[in-house]
Amino acid sequence: MGKVGIIGVGQSAFVRGYPGSIRELAFEGFKEAMEDAQISAQDIDASIICSAPEYDKQRSPSGVFAEYLGLIPQPTCYLESLCSSTSMGLRMAYSLIKSGLHDVVAVLGFQKMSEISSAESQERMGRGADIQWESPFGTMMPAYYAMFAKAHMEKYGTMLEDLALVRVKSATYGQVNPKALFRKPVTVEMFSDPEHFMSGPVSSPLRVGDCCANADGSSCLIVASEERAETFSQRPVWILGLGAASASVNMAGRDLFTGLTVARQAAEQAYRMAGVVPQDIDVAEVHDCFTISEILAYEDLGFAKPGEGKELIKSKETYKEGRIPVNVDGGLLSKGHPIGATGGSQIRTIVLELRGEAGEMQVKEPEIGLVHNIGGVGLYGNVTILGR
């Protein structure tokens, strides 16, 4: 059987307080992807709708979206793996196409987080952890990742200044990404200024500037069989490697606190399937829900040895001109993190990079790109390798 390609990508702007309903939000990402693919809704054989549950009143959004987007009577379903939902959606689309069941599948991710308060949202995010044994202690995502930051700093000497440098890079590119939520420059001085909001404590050692923000957004990928991809598209981007893994939801079941096992396992699978090594990757999108997460990702993906992730950011090797450009669209830290839409946005960026259409974010002639998308606190991990 042949290859599977991505023939259309789209996303809404990521914003606070989207002034519309979830179906209207979904339409924005879908429309851009469909215009990019230059196909019509009848060309789509099935749709997979992805988000993290409990932010909306609407149960089972797949049917509602399929109708609004003109995708009935084709089959549709809802899929979630928290923040990595769209990457998992792409994996499912790949298997639906490889099996021969469908030729063209739309993967649509969305999240409208602004309908609830930030504290309520933290509570829901916290309940993406173990609600029986951990949530009763008052957990939230920044606190969990902060434990990983603390362990990494202790073992490898990673500094708060290194974390700030990740945010500074993120802001460099957030400023040139018209879809990003935060488009202002950030300096390391802001982190050392106790009066500046960026330095405000959230959960030690993480500060406000170390954390991504909630956002509303949608993203969409149009995935097609090799034959359809070549019929419809002048410039399909091929799925070369897919990796996915899961880990213990309870931190008591984890052996590693200086990296994410799911990322390491998913990366290994994806590299093997694609027949490439970390040095072959020309551009990457990693799940920087927190600054420390990007440093962990450098190491888990093999861009740096364990403990040496900080050197990559200090030497600016992950900037656009560096050895391995990472998150040159601003990442989650600048774009905002509308959970179910994030993976699709990361994949969109890599597709645009490989097509040479990333505008001010374009790196020089990349041939192979990688997407690292994590759900929960390293609960789910997806790594996707794409090529021209």
Partner 1 sequence: MSQKKEIDDRFKKFGTVSFTSVTRVNDFINYLEQGKVMGTRCKECGQVFFPPRADCYKCFSSEVEWFEVAGKGRLISYSQLKYAPVGFEQDLPYSIAVLDYGEYKVFGRISSDVPEEEIKLGMDMETVVNRLPDGQLNYVFKKTE
| 28 lines the binding site for partner 1 (CB under 8 A) | no
Residues 51-110 that bind partner 1 (CB under 8 A): none
* Helical packing angle, 141-156 and 118-126, nearest 10°: 70
Stretch that binds partner 1, among 91-99, 125-133, 332-340, 358-366 (CB under 8 A): 125-133
Closest contact distance (angstroms) between CB of 75 and partner 1 is 33
**Per-residue x/- mask for partner 1, residues 185 to 204, rule CB under 8 A?**
----------------xxxx
Sorted by sequence, the CB contacts under 8 Å of residue 326 that are 6+ apart come out as 283, 284, 285, 286, 294, 297, 298, 303, 318
| 306 lines the binding site for partner 1 (CB under 8 A) | no
CB 362 within 8 A of CB 301: no
Say which of 50, 83, 220, 289 is annotated catalytic: 83
Among 42, 137, 189, 227, binds partner 1 (CB under 8 A): 137
* Helical packing angle, 141-156 and 291-300, nearest 10°: 60
In the chain, the N- to C-terminal Cα span, in Å, equals 18
- Which residue type occupies 353? E
CB atoms within 10 A of CB 16: 12
The footprint of partner 1 on this chain (CB under 8 A) covers a number of residues equal to 40
Distance, C-alpha 221 to centroid of its chain: 13
Among 18, 55, 110, 144, binds partner 1 (CB under 8 A): 144
Among 135, 231, 261, 362, binds partner 1 (CB under 8 A): 135
**Per-residue x/- mask for partner 1, residues 257 to 296, rule CB under 8 A?**
x---------------------------------------
Report the C-alpha gap between 342 and 101 in whole angstroms: 27
Burial 119-138 (b: 16+ CB within 10 A, else e): eebbbbbbebbbeeebeeee
| 143 lines the binding site for partner 1 (CB under 8 A) | yes
| 206 lines the binding site for partner 1 (CB under 8 A) | yes
Is-catalytic flag, 220?
Answer: no
Closest contact distance (angstroms) between CB of 89 and partner 1 is 27
| 35 lines the binding site for partner 1 (CB under 8 A) | no
- DSSP of 131-156, one letter per residue? TTTTGGG---HHHHHHHHHHHHHHHH
In terms of CB distance, is 135 or 362 closer to partner 1? 135
In terms of CB distance, is 122 or 233 closer to partner 1? 122
- Which residues contact partner 1 (rule: CB under 8 A)? 117, 119-120, 122-123, 126-127, 130-140, 142-144, 146-151, 154, 201-206, 250-254, 257
